[in-house]
Structures are given as C-alpha cells and as structure tokens.
Structure 1
Amino acid sequence: MSRHLLILAAAGGSLALLLAAFGFQHLGGLAPCQMCLWQRWPHAAAVVIGAVALILPGRALPLLGAAAAMTTAGIGLYHTGVERDWWQGPTTCSSGPIGDLTPQQLMEQIMAAPLVRCDDVPWELFGLSMASWNALVSVALALLWLMAARRV
C-alpha cells in the first residue's frame, strides 16, 4: 500500500468513527458522556493531520497521527475500565461511594450529576461497548499511521 493510501485509510477510519459517534448521538438518540466526548477530539485531530500529511512529505505527521490514534485508544481503554468497574472514573460523570453524606449533601450530589454517566454502557456489540470498539479500532488505525510513516 502506498503512503497516501495508508494515510487516507487511517484518517478515513477516524472520520468514520467520528461519523458513527455522531450518528449514534443524533440519529440513535444515545447522548455521549464526558469521556465519550474526550475520545472524539483525537479523531478530529487525526482527520486534520491526515489532510495535511497528504500534502506535506515526511514522517512527523504520520507519527503525530499515530499518537492521536493511540491517545483516543488510551481514553477508550480507560473508559472501558470505568464501564466494567475495573477502576473508578472521574467523579464528574461516574457514580461513586456515597460515604457519610447528609441527606442534603446527597440531594445536591444527585442534582449536580450529569444526565449521562460514564460508567453506564448504553450500547454494546459482541459484549464490547462503544468505548471498547473505539480502543480496538484506534489501535489498528495507529498501525496504519505507523506503516505510512515508514513509507517516506
């Protein structure tokens, strides 16, 4: 595969994942949580990097694209762990221990909680959540970026 085709495949993969996320949100009615939104930014960066990398030669941009793909893969893996209760997620979008809260403090915590929690799995395919799929596909995209970087 040529460098340009690898870049198109990698950036196109990020674009496809972004479009799928927006489709689930706007057509499927699945509102994203905070961590879902975090996973979108590196994909957007990868699309822009891909457009520029098609014009400019060198290894720097494909390596930057690989870094973007691995960043969203890392966030997706972290999000998967939060969803599966492997570790605690951010308190801004996950449920946590109630502790010694007064009824008033508990009510304030409930009212301040976001509508979409990061530790819920609203959709899954073959036992994997959207965050899990994002992590897996993003690692594959990072490999494409790395292959493009080798073909300078």
Structure 2
Amino acid sequence: MSTRQHAILTAILAAAAPLAAMASERFLGMAPCALCLWQRWPYWVAVALALLAATLRSRALLALAGLAVLASAAIAGLHLGVEQGWWPSPLPSCAAPGAGAAMSVDELMRSLAPRPDKPCDAAAYLIHGLPVSMAAMNLAYALGLGALALAWARRPTHAA
C-alpha cells in the first residue's frame, strides 16, 4: 500500500473511535464524563493530519497523525487510572455533583447543572459481563492504531 492509502485508512480508523463513542451515547444511552470527551479530540486532530498526509503524500504528517492517536491513548490511560482509583482526576468537572457550599436545598437545586455530569471514576462498560471499560478499550485501540500509523509512516513510499 502507498503512503496515501495508509493515510486514508488511518483517517477512517481514527474517525471510527469517536463516532463509535458518540453512537454509544445516542443509541445505548451511555453518558460520557469529561475525560471521555477529552479522549475524542486527538482522534479528530489525527483525522485532519491523516487527510492532509494523504493529500500531500507525506509520511511525516502520517507520523504526526499516529502521535495524535497516541495522545488519546495517554488520556485513556489517565482515565483508566481514575476509574481504578489509582489517582484522582485532574479535571474538576470529573467529580460527582455535591452540595458544596450550598446553604439550602433551593441553593443546591439552583447550583446543579441542567444535565448531570457523569463522574470520571464511574467506569462505563460497553459489553455486559466483560470487565473492560470504554476507557480501557480506547487505550488498547489507540495504542494499536497509533503504533500502526507510525509503522506505516516509516515504510518506504510505493507508487499509487
């Protein structure tokens, strides 16, 4: 395969991850937390870089797309650690809503978001009975896709 073909495949596979996450929200009713949402951004950066790599037939841009995917893996690793209780989340929006400094029930009700946020330490499981969270699945997927894109970027260019 050529650099262009590898870049197009990388773009498709990078777009698949956040689209699958969005589908799980819409069709399966899974609520994302703040770290879940953060994991999606590097994929969109990877899609843009991979499409640019395909247009310019640039292995360097394909490598950058692979590194962008690995950034999602890093966020997924952080998220997995939060889920497992290994460390606290660095994002204040990851905490479960609480009473905070509210003095009354009315103040508490006014301080709540219109749609409650899911705490980042509450793992979301896509496959019932499989003890692998969405963050863990993203970690594995991103590590694999990132490594694959970097390997493709190192290959000599073929005509196509």
Question: Which TM-score tier does this pair reach, normalised by the shorter chain?
Answer: 0.7 to 0.9
Aligned length: 150
TM-score (norm 2): 0.79
Contact 2:46-2:68 within 8 A present in 1 as well: yes
TM-score (norm 1): 0.83
User: Which residue does the alignment assign to 2:81?
Assistant: 81
1:137 aligns with 2:141: yes
User: Which residue does the alignment assign to 1:91?
Assistant: 92
User: Which residue does the alignment assign to 1:35?
Assistant: 35
Shift of 1:16: 1.1
User: Which residue does the alignment assign to 1:118?
Assistant: 120
User: Which residue does the alignment assign to 2:22?
Assistant: 22
Shift of 1:150: 1.2
Contact 1:67-1:142 within 8 A present in 2 as well: yes
Shift of 1:11: 1.9
Bigger RCO of structures 1 and 2 (CA < 8 A, at least 6 apart): 1
Structure 1 gaps, min length 5? 96-100
Shift of 1:103: 7.6
Cα-Cα RMSD: 2.8
C-alpha distance in 1 between matches for 2:22 and 2:5 = 25
* Aligned-residue identity in percent: 35
Contact 2:3-2:59 within 8 A present in 1 as well: no
Contact 1:50-1:62 within 8 A present in 2 as well: yes
C-alpha distance in 2 between matches for 1:58 and 1:4 = 8
Q: What's the CA shift string for 1:45-70, capped at 9, x where partnerless?
A: 11111111111133320121011011
Structure 2 gaps, min length 5? none
C-alpha distance in 1 between matches for 2:23 and 2:84 = 24
C-alpha distance in 1 between matches for 2:142 and 2:101 = 43
Shift of 1:79: 0.2
User: Which residue does the alignment assign to 1:98?
Assistant: none
C-alpha distance in 2 between matches for 1:124 and 1:88 = 23
C-alpha distance in 2 between matches for 1:85 and 1:112 = 25
Contact 1:33-1:116 within 8 A present in 2 as well: yes
Shift of 1:25: 1.1
